[in-house]
Amino acid sequence: MNELLGVRSLSTLPVVTLGGDAVAHVKDTVLDVRAGRVTGFTLTGRTLLSGPLPRDLPWPAVHSLGRHAVMVRDEEALCDLPRSVARRDALRGRLLDARVVTDEGHRLGTVLDVLVEGGTSGRIVAFRFAAHREPVPGSRHRRHRLYVPRGETVSVSGRSLVVPAHATTYAADDLPDFVARVGAFRARRTGALP
């Protein structure tokens, strides 16, 4: 598996050509949650104080996505911004802070981030969410963060993200443990494990 990157951490990454020229910065990551993929990026100018660009970067034009930059072959990878991007970007905005519920109706928490696979994949792997722990007697609820795999079926409806109930079996509260569990989750989906 390639490195996992949080969508929130992708904002302000430079967009760099293979020749080493910085041509823009990432403003927002545009997701298609149902398809489980990054579809592109909206952009700002080369300096962090620049405003939004009237161009975007579609995923097929991305050479590679890494922790420190989005790589493109050349500046021609940037495209005029279609109106549909604004609608998809609005969906992304509703995803962060949305309620997470299972397909059996159990509320899990609130979406904090979306984890995508770096490199050339751009696949949505998991969601990081704030959950409530069972209270210790005499104390208030405490919040903690969990990672849960995307699963094979996901839907977004209004302000809720619905994940398969069995995906919660693979939830973890630290990223290294979660990566190991995602491997087991994938093996189960493909039939490699009983």
Superfamily grouping for domain 96-190: PRC-barrel domain (2.30.30.240)
Asked if 98 and 90 touch (Cβ cutoff 8 Å), the reply is no
- Residue 193 pLDDT: 54
Taking residues 34-53, report their average pLDDT. Answer: 82
DSSP-based three-state secondary structure for 158: coil
Give the chain's mean pLDDT: 80
In the block, tokens 């609608």 appear at 87
- Residue 68 pLDDT: 95
Q: What whole-number distance in Å separates Cα of residue 154 and Cα of residue 165?
A: 11
Q: How far from each other are the two terminal CA atoms of the chain, in whole angstroms?
A: 21
- Residue 62 pLDDT: 96
Return the beta strands (E) in 3-123 as ranges: 4-6, 14-17, 22-32, 37-44, 52-58, 62-65, 70-72, 79-80, 99-102, 107-117
User: Which CATH number describes the domain made up of 7-83?
Assistant: 2.30.30.240
Q: Could you tell me the residue ranges of all domains in the chain? A: 7-83, 96-190
Condensed to tens digits (0 to 9), the pLDDT of residues 99-140 reads 888 888 888 888 899 999 999 999 998 889 888 654 434 434
Same fold, 7-83 and 96-190: yes
Q: What whole-number distance in Å separates Cα of residue 187 and Cα of residue 128?
A: 21
Condensed to tens digits (0 to 9), the pLDDT of residues 68-97 reads 999 999 999 998 766 555 545 544 556 778
Handedness of CA 57, 60, 62, 64 (dihedral sign): positive
Most confident of 60-74, 81-95, 163-177: 60-74
- Residue 125 pLDDT: 86
Its pTM stands at 0.79
